[in-house]
Structure 1
Amino acid sequence: MTRRFRMLVLVVVMLVITAVGTVVLWARHDDREPVTILGTWTAKQGEQFEAVLRSFGIPFRYQGTAAQREVLLSKVQSGEPPDIVIMPSIGELAEYAEQDLLEPLDALYDPEEYGGPWKPTGSGSGHVYWVPVKADLKSIVWYREGERPAASPAPLRSWCMGMSDDGTSGWPGTDWIEDLVLQQQGPDVYEKWALNKERRDWWRGDAVRTAWESWASLLRQDRAAARHALLTDHRGDPDGNGLLFEGWGGCTLEHQGSFAPSFYKDEARRARMTDSARLLPGGDGRLRGREVTGDFAALFGDRPQARELIRRLASKEGQQKWAATTNVFSANRRVAPHGSAVEREIARRLGEGPRCLDASDVMPPAVRDAFYEAVLLTIARAAAGRDIDIPGVLADVQRVQDAQTAQGTDRSAAPRTVCSTT
């Protein structure tokens, strides 16, 4: 018997049947225990986040992992979820909320302090279940100081690209597809696809297929570069300074979010960025919107200490401290820009619309995972010099989407909008 179970003062048993038929026994934690937090930040950024948490004066125990979804699912199924989880996947959080596993955050922060599209839009019950504690910009391309790219689409060999990640390989490719849909079709079509509005065959439709073909045309240019991208970690070598500064094959550009400098380490001061629209294949170079992402905090337990920690982290003061300490970005509109000229420029662009949340982050997890797999299959076929069969690849994702729709799954906690100009 674990120490946690020996210290139980109240046990509330809830039977939750998950998609794999697992029975979950829910247990309330002893109020004397530290607040448990599960997040994605590791290494230096994890240490910086812990320093911010310590300043709140609330005992805590933080676990950072790149395999967060697997770790969280295991903890939930074992009946010992963390008090707080911080993750980018709103679609996953919505599923937990719809199973009554998350606590409402209605009185813990002022939603009006947060700009769209990070600002929670509420659920069918009128509650909000997550709060943005970090924001990032994705429709950008990084290059090395003094090597500004030409204003035209770049060939595959110019791109520093890696698809591998712990437990979530393929997501860097979904960023490419999402940005292409946004720049080619605009925010209205992007939002309808991301939220499966109008229940159309979005995955087999022209908008997604055109974006996918644009990316595939890039991958077909060089089998060796495609193979390298498939087998390479998006962060680069653990002992290196990120893909951009490793420069495999002479690559000089990286389509990556505003968090990329954390991979560049000592070379980050030489990194510069520009809007992605003019460098993407198959477009007219016009910037129609900016893809953004966020990390959202949610409560699995209702202990006062956990609620207070969320309140402090989401406040203007907490967000200002987190942003200033770690050079990250906040969706809180009261937090002042900070850092270098590049960081201030990112903060400015994060404030300009239209902005659209990462589409895969708001999709149901099953659809998101099928999206990841389709990206990996596409690049694997390009690396092998085989026919990619884009209609077949997208039909597979559509079947997963159709199965989700046919199940009539409760999506009342899912976001109502993805794009915003406010």
Structure 2
Amino acid sequence: MTRRFNVLVFVVVMLLIAAGGMVVWAQHDDEEPVTILGTWTAKQAEQFETVLRGFGIPFRYQGTAAQREVLLSKVQSGEPPDIVIMPGIGELAEYADQGLLKPLDGLYDPQEYGAPWKSTGSPSEHVYWVPVKADLKSIVWYRRGHEPADAPAPLRSWCIGMGDDGASGWPGTDWIEDLVLQRAGSEVYEKWALGTGEVKWWRSDPVRTAWEAWAGLLRQDEDAAERALLTDHRGDPDGNGLLFDGRRGCTLEHQGSFALSFYRSDAGHARLTDSAPLLPGGGKRVRAHEVTGDFAALFSDRSRARALIRRLASEEGQQKWADLANVFSANRQVKPRGGAVEREIARRLGEGPRCLDASDVMAPAVRDAFYEAVLLTIARAAAGQDPDIPGLLQDVQRVQDAQSAQGADSRAAPKTVCSTR
């Protein structure tokens, strides 16, 4: 009897020790720094980390241009970051549908954020991401004192680079998206981005003619097309962006407002204008502006991670981020900083029809097919070949059809892309 009692006591003690160990481990885990994966590197990463340090919450930030691949690797290994910050809403929606994202309900007020960045239009009852940075597209940069003529510009005028550490080709999708938007308007653009209805949008006239206009521009100069294919969109690592690289001889750059960070010490000499009059066959009318954003989402439900999201999404956090890094916020309460150029960007971000970057909204498989088709277009133009636009678009449409056939209708994805408010 005594022996049996001693054994029982031993087992109970061991269970208590194990349980105690688990409690200690859970407490230790919750005390670990919040891990954050984002796209910002170099100076902007330093500025972001300065903002985070002001929150008083321990963190580890990793910035990489190859974020899609890094995130996928971490998720597949079972070690995702606590927080991810990325522009790809379509990708975030897939993670949410797989049950990998934690809802942000109650961590911020979506009504503080302007459309189309805020999470609206989704049939899901939860909010899974918050915009923590906004950027303007549908603009063209030029050097001060070299204002462009109000007419479509030839290929030799354009500073173009397709390269990136991760998703090469997206600068080309920006061209095609802008052409569709300026030529066909926001209603058609939104339906194409979401793949809604019975229309085979990739083979439709608005998309095909926009793509042909861009391919026609590229075919003006095979050497220039080849340089664009082999050039990083940011320019040389130690340079001030493509626009201020005197070796290239180009005078215009079709880039978002984030290009100011590429220009570094020359940023004060950069000026912007609306893209519509300068696009090939784009027409002079500005129908809408394409916009983009960086969205924060939670892969863990740790209290520290939730607290950091709350602080970052708050008006105070967004204002600090805007002030320190001279970036723009989708939060309506945040006041932009900077000079005349920054005020022009802020004005366009806050008025008129605005549409989210179409490829950012698309399902990852469709987006990747879009990137590949763009790279094939420019490669064929550089080789003096017919780009075969109908064939390329048919290939992308097949990917879209396959997504639909698999019932890949995301509940978390937004159902609207454009907004006038």
Q: Report the TM range for the smaller structure's normalisation.
A: over 0.9
Deviations 1:166-205 (A, max 9, x none): 1200000000000000000000000000000103210011
Q: Does 1:155 align with 2:136?
A: no
Q: Secondary structure at the match of 1:260?
A: helix
Q: How do residues 253-264 of structure 1 correspond to structure 2 at under 5 angstroms?
A: 253-264=252-263
Q: 1:9 to 1:191 in 2, by over 3 A?
A: farther
Pairing 1:90–2:105 present: no
Paired residues of 1:174 and 1:375 also in contact (CA < 8 A): yes
Q: Distance in 1 between matches of 2:283 and 2:42?
A: 40
Tell me what 1:143 maps to.
142
TM-score, length basis structure 1? 0.93
Matching residue of 1:126: 125
Check 1:65–1:28 CA distance in 2 against 1; reply closer, same or farther (3 A cut): farther
Shift of the alpha carbon at 1:124? Answer: 2.8
Q: Are residues 194 and 28 of structure 1, via their aligned partners in 2, closer, same or farther at CA, if it must alter by over 3 Å?
A: farther
Whole-Å Cα distance in 2 between the matches of residues 8 and 58 of structure 1? 25
Q: Matches of 2:302 and 2:392 in 1, distance apart?
A: 45
Q: By how many angstroms is 1:122 displaced?
A: 5.8
1:234 CA displacement: 0.1
CA shift, 1:410, in A, is 4.0
* Partner residue, 1:188: 187
The answer on whether the counterparts of 1:8 and 1:30 sit within 8 Å (CA) in structure 2 is no
Partner of 2:288: 289
- Indicate conservation of the 8 Å contact 2:121/2:416, yes or no: no
Q: Which residue of 1 aligns with 2:239?
A: 240
Tell me if 1:367 matches 2:366: yes
Aligned structure 1 segments of 4 or more residues deviating by more than 2 angstroms = 7-10, 122-125
**TM-score between the two structures when normalised by the length of structure 2:** 0.93
Deviation at 1:164, TM superposition (A): 0.3
Q: What is the CA-CA distance between 1:311 and the residue it aligns to?
A: 0.5
1:340 is displaced (CA, Å) by: 1.4
Match of 1:310 in 2: 309
Task: Indicate conservation of the 8 Å contact 1:139/1:275, yes or no.
Answer: yes
Secondary structure at 1:161 match in 2? coil
The 8 Å contact of residues 86 and 295 in structure 2, kept in 1 or not, is answered as yes
For 2:220, give the aligned amino acid: Q
Distance 2:159 2:115 in 1: 31
User: Is 1:240–1:246's contact at 8 Å kept on the other side of the alignment?
Assistant: yes
C-alpha contact 1:187 1:419 (8 A) present in aligned 2: yes
Q: Please give the secondary structure, in 2, of the residue aligned with 1:347.
A: helix
Whole-Å separation in 2 of the counterparts to 1:111 and 1:294 = 15
Percent identity, aligned pairs only, is: 79
Unaligned stretches of 5+ residues in structure 1: 1-6, 11-26
C-alpha offsets along residues 362-381 of structure 1, whole Å, 9 cap, x if unaligned? 00000000000000000000
Q: Which has the higher helix share?
A: 2
- Alpha-carbon distance between aligned partners in 2 of 1:311 and 1:180, rounded to the nearest angstrom: 37
Q: Which has the larger radius of gyration?
A: 2
**1:8 touches 1:28 (CA, 8 Å); kept in 2?**
no
For residues 59 and 220 of structure 1, the distance between their equivalents in structure 2, rounded to whole angstroms, comes to: 52
Instruction: Compare 302-311 and 116-125 and name the one that shifted more.
Output: 116-125
Give the match's secondary structure for 2:359. Answer: helix
Query: CA 1:261 to 1:412, structure 2 compared with 1: closer, same or farther past 3 Å?
Result: same
Aligned partner of 2:320 in structure 1 is 321
Task: Give how far 1:125 is off.
Answer: 3.2
Describe the superposition over 1:19-39 as per-residue Cα deviations: whole angstroms up to 9, x where unpaired.
Answer: xxxxxxxx9981010000000
Determine if contact 1:273/1:342 at 8 Å carries over to the other structure. yes
AA at the equivalent of 1:33: E
Displacement after TM superposition at 1:285 (Å) = 1.3
* Counterpart-to-counterpart distance in 1, 2:97 and 2:298: 13
User: 1:350, 1:28 → 2: CA distance?
Assistant: 43
Alignment partners' CA distance in 2, 1:167 and 1:234: 12
Change (3 A) 1:29 1:310: farther
Give the corresponding residue for 1:78. 77
Alignment of 1:96-115 (within 5 A): 96-115=95-114
Equivalent residue for 1:383?
Answer: 382
Q: 1:294-349 CA deviation, whole Å, 9 max, x = no partner?
A: 00000000011100100110010000000000010000000012111101110111
CA distance 1:9–1:102, change in 2 (3 Å): farther
Segments of 5+ residues of structure 2 without an aligned counterpart are 1-19
Letter in 1 for 2:287: R
Q: Number of residues paired by the alignment?
A: 400
Residue type at the aligned position of 1:119:
K
Aligned Cα RMSD in Å? 1.5
- Paired residues of 1:139 and 1:291 also in contact (CA < 8 A): yes
For residue 31 of structure 1, give the secondary structure of its aligned residue in structure 2.
helix
| Distance in 1 between residues matched to 2:230 and 2:188, nearest whole Å | 32
Q: Shift of residue 283 of structure 1?
A: 2.1
